[in-house]
Amino acid sequence: MKRNTEHLKQKIREILDFPTPGIKFKDITPLLEDPESFKEAIDGLVDFFRDIKINKVVGIDARGFLLASAVAYLLNAGMVIVRKKGKLPHQTIVREHDLEYGRGTLEIHVDAIKKGERVLVIDDVLATGGTADAAVKLVEHLGGDVVGLGFLLELSYFPGREKLKNYNINSLIIY
C-alpha cells in the first residue's frame, strides 16, 4: 500500500553541516515528538510487513531502536538491538561498515538471533546502505533469514537501495 507521506516530510528538519561539514542531516525528532505523525510512521512501517511471518525485529543504534521496538510490538515479534561497538554487555560479533561521513562498527549479541529465525531490520534512514548492510551481515552470520528492511526515510541520491538490492526494502518517505 502506497501512502501519501508529504505531510510527514514536513515534520523532518534538515540540519546543515551535521555531524560533519557538507552533510545535510535529516532530523526526525520533530516527527517523533508529534503523536499523530509518530503513530502514522509506525503504522506505515508495519503495513509493509504485516503479512510476512517475522520472529525478530532488529533495530539499529540508535534512532532505529525507537522505530523497531514499536514495530516489533505491533508485529508480535521479539526485539533485537544492533549497537555501536562497546555498548553491549554480553559476548558479541562485530562488523565494520562505511557511513556517508566515515566508518563505523556495529555489534550484536551472539545469542540474539537463532538459526532460521525470520528477521526484519529497521532503521531511521537508508543512505549509502553501509549500516543496514552491516546489520544484515550480522543477522545472517548468526543464521537468521532477513525477510525485509524498513526505513522511515530513504535518501535516494545515495546508492543504499542498490547495495541492498537482494532484499525486500521498504521506505516510508523518499527524498
- Is the N-terminal amide bond of 62 cis, ω within 30° of 0? yes
CA count, 13 A, side-chain hemisphere, 46: 16
The answer to whether 120 and 54 have CB atoms below 8 angstroms apart is: yes
The alpha carbon of residue 150 and the mean position of all alpha carbons in its chain are separated, in whole angstroms, by 6
Catalytic residues: 63, 100
Q: How far is CA 16 from CA 19, 27, 127, in A?
A: 9, 10, 16
Beta bridge partners of 14: 26
Q: In angstroms, rounded to a whole number, what is the distance separating the alpha carbons of residues 34 and 5?
A: 15
Q: In angstroms, rounded to a whole number, what is the distance separating the alpha carbons of residues 25 and 19?
A: 7
DSSP state of 37: H
